[in-house]
Amino acid sequence: MCGISGVLRLGGSAGIDLDRSVEMMAQQLCHRGPDRLSTWVSADGQIAFGHTRLAVVDLSPAGDQPMTSSDGRWTITYNGEIYNSGSLLADLDRPRSQFRGHSDTEVLLECVAAWGVRKTLERTVGMFAFAIWDNERSQLWLARDRFGEKPLYYARHGQVLIFGSELGALRVVPGFSPTVDRVALGEYFRWTNIPAPRTIFEEVSKLEPGHLVHVTDSGILPEPEPYWSLVDEAQLAEGPSTGSDWLSEFDSAFQQAVAGRMVADVPLGAFLSGGVDSSAIVAMMQRMSTDSVRTFTVSFPGTAFDEGGYASAVAQHLGTDHTELKVSPDDAMAVIPLLPAMYGEPFADSSQVPTYLVSRMASEHVTVALSGDGGDELFGGYERYRRLHQLGRVRDALPRFVRRGLAKGMQAVSVSGWDRIAQGVAGPILPRALRRRTGHRVHKLARIIQAESSDDLYSVMMSPGDGSDRLVIGGQDTPSVGAGGAGVLAVGGFTPAEAGMLADSQTYLPDDLLTKVDRASMAVSLEVRTPFLDPDLYRFAWSLPAAYRIRDGQGKWIVRQFLRTVLPDYLIDRPKVGFGIPIGEWLRGPLKPWADDLLDPGIIAGQGYLDSDLVSRFWRSHGDCTDDFTYQLWAILMFQAWLSEADL
């Protein structure tokens, strides 16, 4: 894995030192690639690339970047891994002896030289973000992988285009002084992340997954264009012929996806939470390994978030070399000051903390780790997919005034009141998992049954609500679905559950989950690979009959059937537990002084971004247990912490 950066002159501008600028940008990305920092400036002085390398495949200098093709036409700076580089090399019909080394970078580069950028993108399987310069035509291409595993930020700054793997690389360019985008800030408080293509700054964009930018005129920055579509692939997916053994087909596609992501010249392991997705990946890895696979988990003893026992049991059954880190509240809270710089812009998924901790631990033993991200979106793992259908039917069956009356009655009891009621209900009637944050769930359900459209229904399910959309002063109404997922819920031919999976795949997956994993792992120079996010496996998932994904109210049926060959049922069919930490409790306890400082009404009013009265109401109500505003407050605190370090 690596960090990339670059500066392109637009309109023949000469007012910037390309070499110095790209060197400064690259230095901001050394955590992504600690093995080597290199820069390149084109012969005509029009463009400069920077690259920081984490050597994973071909550790020799032959794999260093920026790299120029053998014909001299193309130069690339690239972040990622190409998993089908072997088959691409075979298609090139060139002997390996003609290559300087065996890196996937060189294969990608020579494919571009032979076939062009678009055709290469269509044939490439991997996670990546890259910039490639056509020295012959003086044209620049920027591209990002299909699912959005690797990031790419870019901005026009006067008469130059600047781009890089992280926002921090752009901010060090001399004279670049971006302004906070209040519309993006509103989206942040709705989703707890900022959906692409927006960023926290008006001047900066994130390239969306499956998109490219082709700069053909030095004075014009064109709009991004897609080269691959999740929705199109889902609509066109065709499965095995009637009578095929779906389980066998899954096994084959899954094995191919995992095998491709196990290729490395450095130590390799896997995250293991004990959940279905990570357990399935580790089971497949262990099947293909002669040695015990290294597995890693973090646990929070004594909390509702502790899955350490399940992870250990899975590791024992599979025979892995397992390492568990037992995390104390002090350990977790020590990470919080690192988060603003780590993510570069406001980001408020609190599982960023354990993700960083497990990444840091794994990086002490391996350089590459496989992760189970994407399994829920492909195979229907989230409870909300079933609820989208059920609640949609309720919404359609009941008149609006009835739904409003029900909601008013549900909201008449406070969040804390519902919590007290839940604690008094016997365990068999209300499982432990549902007794946690019961009041929050009931109030959210009240908002859900009032939703007037599928987009509104999805929005309520995915956002904290409870007034967070009114926090930004001078903000605007934000879309009910993030930009990448807009309109997906209305696409014909999909059930409500399938539409939810597609919307998640285009928004929540890249903007939240993959962002969280990339920044947390790259902060400690660990490469994380996600086998579920394989184009062939994705196509297979969308070819399945619905019952092979969701059956008897349970998601990921086919993945569970695969696991039943190696694990007992009690480790497969247990309730899903989020990968989180007890932030809400800590804000009332050990984190209160830190939060008090950041939420000072005078400071917030002086900054002019947020409604200080509303912030104070959230903080006061949460502190005295009148309401639970954990999600809203964590988002506010992450913004305030970022703002305090942003030097705007």
Q: What is the predicted pLDDT for the residue at 61?
A: 92
Domain with CATH 3.60.20.10 in the chain: 2-228
pLDDT in tens, 168-212: 999 999 999 999 999 999 999 999 999 999 999 999 999 999 999
Q: Are strands 294-299 and 268-271 parallel, antiparallel or unpaired?
A: parallel
**Mean pLDDT comparison of 294-308, 453-467, 492-506, highest-scoring range:** 492-506
Q: What are phi and psi of 342, to 5 degrees?
A: -65, -40
Q: Phi and psi dihedrals of 51, rounded to 5? A: -155, 130
CB atoms within 10 A of CB 333: 16
- Report whether pLDDT(577) > 90: no
Q: What is the model's pLDDT at position 557?
A: 96
The dihedral formed by the CA atoms of 295, 300, 304 and 308, expressed in degrees to the nearest 10:
30
Amino acid of residue 6: G
Q: How confident is the model at residue 299 (pLDDT cuts 50, 70, 90)?
A: confident
Residue 459 pLDDT grade (very low, low, confident, very high; cuts 50, 70, 90) = confident
CA torsion, ordered 423, 424, 430, 435, to nearest 10 deg: -10
Residue span(s) of the chain under CATH 3.40.50.620 come to 237-379+509-571
Distance from C-alpha of 255 to C-alpha of 484, rounded to nearest angstrom:
30
- Computed over every residue of the chain, the mean pLDDT equals 90
- 509 in Cβ contact with 147 (< 8 Å): yes
pLDDT at res. 468: 72
Q: What is the layout of strands, in order, in the sheet containing 36-41?
A: 36-41, 47-53, 2-9, 160-164, 153-157, 204-206
**Cβ(526)–Cβ(367) below 8 Å:** yes
Tally of CB atoms within 10 A around 426: 6
Please compute, for residue 504, the number of CA atoms within 13 A of its CA located in the half-sphere on the CB side.
24
What is the pLDDT, as a whole number, of residue 571? 92
59-78 pLDDT, tens digit each: 999 999 999 999 999 999 99
pLDDT digits (tens, 9 = 90+) for 481-502: 555 555 666 666 788 889 899 9
* Lookup: tokens for 625: 């247990």
Region 420-441: what's the mean pLDDT?
Answer: 64
Cα Rg of the chain, angstroms: 25
Indicate whether 95 pLDDT > 80.
Answer: no
Q: Categorize the per-residue pLDDT at 391 as very low, low, confident or very high, splitting at 50, 70 and 90.
A: confident
With residue 541 as reference, give the H or E element that holds it.
helix 535-543
The least confident of 42-46, 246-250, 496-500, 534-538 is: 496-500
Q: What confidence score (pLDDT) does residue 16 get?
A: 80
Inter-CA distances, 381 with 277, 378, 403, 551, 558, Å: 9, 8, 28, 11, 11
Distance CA 483, CA 487 (A): 9
Name which residue leads in pLDDT, 408 or 335. Answer: 335
- State the average pLDDT over residues 29-47: 95
Residue 140 has pLDDT above 60, yes or no: yes
Global pTM exceeds 0.75: yes
**Interatomic CA distance for residues 642 and 336, integer angstroms:** 11
- Tokens read off for 494: 């999909």
- Whether the per-residue pLDDT at 580 is higher than 80: the answer is no
Confidence of residue 241 (pLDDT cuts 50, 70, 90): low
82/375 Cα distance (integer angstroms): 20
pLDDT at res. 164: 98
How far is Cα of residue 533 from the mean position of the Cα atoms in its chain?
12
The strand pair at 2-9 and 321-326 is best described as unpaired
Spatial contact of 104 and 85, defined as CB atoms under 8 Å apart: yes
Which of 99-113, 269-283, 411-425 is predicted least confidently?
411-425
pLDDT of residue 604: 97
**Residue 422 banded pLDDT, cuts 50, 70, 90:** confident
CATH number listed for the domain at residues 237-379+509-571: 3.40.50.620
d(CA 40, CA 157): 20
Q: How many CB atoms lie within 10 A of CB 602?
A: 8
Contact yes or no for 154/146 (Cβ under 8 A): no
The answer to whether residue 530 scores a pLDDT higher than 60 is yes
Q: Which residues pair with 295 in a beta bridge?
A: 270, 322
Which of 637, 625, 624, 644 lies closest to 595 in space, CA to CA?
Answer: 637
Residues 6+ apart with CB under 8 A from 399: none
Res. 579: pLDDT tops 70 = no
- A 10 A CB-CB count for 313 gives 16
3-class SS of residue 610:
strand
Tokens of 352: 């960023």
Cross-strand pairs, 156: 161
**Rounded Cα distance, 462 and 514, in Å:** 16
What average pLDDT score do residues 411-433 get?
69
Per the CB < 8 A criterion, the answer to whether 29 and 56 are in contact is no
Average pLDDT over residues 85-98: 86
What kind of architecture, by CATH, is found in domain 2-228? 4-Layer Sandwich (3.60)
269: helix, strand or coil: strand
Segment 334-351 mean pLDDT: 95
Of 577 and 624, the one with more pLDDT: 624
Of residues 604 and 450, more confidently modeled: 604
* Residues contacting 520, CB < 8 A, separation 6+: 342, 352, 355, 356, 359
pLDDT, residue 535, reads 97
Q: Where are the beta strands (DSSP E) in 429-475?
A: none
444 touches 460 (CB < 8 A): yes
